[in-house]
Chains A and B, each alone.
Chain A
Amino acid sequence: MPVWHDATKQWATDGKLVLLGVTQEQHPERCRLFAQWKGFGWPILHDPINVLGSAAVPVVLAIDEHGIVRSTRPNPKTFAADFLDKAFADDATNKPVPPTPAHPPKFDDLKAAAEAAKTADAWRRYGDTLALWGGEEKLSAAIAAYRQAVTHDPKDGPAWFRSGVCLRRRSETTAREADDFRAAVAAWGTALDLDPNQYIWRRRIQQYGPRLDKPYPFYDWVPDAEAAVRKRGETPVALPVRPDGSEIAQPAKAFAAVKDAPTNPDPKGKVNRDPGSVTCEVVVVPAVVKPGQSVRVHLTFRVASMKTDHWNNEAEPLRVWVDPPAGVAVHERLIAAERPKAATSTEPRTVGFEVQVPKDAAGTIRVPVYALYHLCDEVGGTCRYVRLYATVEVKVK
């Protein structure tokens, strides 16, 4: 992108060319920060559900004054002569159609149309409109619409992918449902099984997946961008969901299993069990692997009642001990969660690690884990150090 930004800056300033960006990323703020860092002044549109139907990016199209594509591989060096300085005839063979999805949205009309048509297409169209224009409050309705679409046509890959996008989005809101992230990963996996050549869909899984399956670290550039923007005296675009863990993990060509295992912090299970003050959500990405492959495990710990409990950040951090069965490799055994500087807090705590299943694995591989953490209750002011068990299930097929 910087190549085209630099090459076309003067033409855009002179009004000879409109540079129009589209990004299919899950989080628009991250692309905004990237644009701020690079000094992109042109509009960038957000297509998180990939209504444009692209199979991969980058895609660069030269579109003439009539809306007709004149080049799918423009060359910056010959762009002026090949395209910009030419006048084109309105000679497209296909006719113009109304923009999709329709804006401003007519949710009720689209819902009624979907109920009447009873087709995957109609439900997907309704879902698309809700997903793009409905904001957070319509995410559940969008997910329901996409579920209708895949009920009518279980092979509707775009509906599966888009439902995953909405599920992941909802998982980052206060309207989150317990299974959202896991369901998003499952939906993306189903979509990719239907069309393995869809790289926009594949990247969404890789974003949260293991290092062996990553083409790049995705968001490792964020701290550099923020520092550079601050150095210019500007305020960096705020990121409501900061990338961490798998989203900044460096790709690897070989699985690096932990060699010198640290000491099990509570081998005999002497620390009291948490009676239910904290929940642990377990998500495995991808949802299903082949024998010998690896997965990224996401553990999210949430204080069940923020009214009565909080993390005690003055004590040692939340730690997770991973206890893999024989033949199963993990890249870390003892992992500490990051914590804020404040003495107490109630935010979700995340821990990630990777598991490689044996080459002869089949069925479901279970990896026991437990967490140790310090909690205090608001009412009595008492603090406690407790233990929570969880099981990671890796499906092998």
Chain B
Amino acid sequence: MRHSLLAVPAAVLLSQLALGQTPKVGDRHPDFTLPDVAGGKPKTLSDFRGKKVLLVQFASW
């Protein structure tokens, strides 16, 4: 089941994360504004300041 994060072998996930520019623990996440896939208002990460956020980058495949 490739859509499930838990199905990704830990070693693979670790190696992939090590390759990217994913912010480190303790970093303030760089702010960004992106369009909504549903065509709604664009959203900015900092709009959610004051709330806890789980940011999930994924693909449907």
Contacts and interface: CB of A to CB of B under 8 A. Distances in A.
Contacts of B2: 216
Interface stretch (A42-50, A171-179, A306-314): A42-50
Contacts of B56: 1, 4, 19-22, 58-61
Given A34-B60, A45-B34, A96-B31, A65 B51 contact: yes
A18 B57 contact: no
A72 B25 contact: yes
A31 B24 contact: no
A57 B58 contact: yes
A65 B52 contact: yes
B19 A55 contact: yes
A47 B3 CA distance: 18
Interface in A28-69: 28-35, 38, 43-47, 51-69
Interface residues of B, number: 50
Contacts of B44: 99, 103
A92 B27 contact: yes
Interface residues of A, number: 80
A358 interface: no
Interface in A5-28: 8, 16-25, 28
A30 B17 CA distance: 25
Contacts of A133: 35
A61 B37 contact: no
Contact of B33 (A1, A71, A103, A216): A103
B54 interface: yes
B57 A68 contact: no
A68 B3 contact: no
A64 B52 contact: yes
B11 interface: no
Contacts of B31: 67, 96-100
Contacts of B20: 53-56, 59
A219 interface: yes
16 contacts: A4-B5, A8-B54, A20-B48, A20-B53, A20-B56, A44-B36, A61-B23, A61-B56, A63-B45, A67-B49, A69-B28, A72-B24, A97-B31, A101-B33, A103-B33, A203-B59
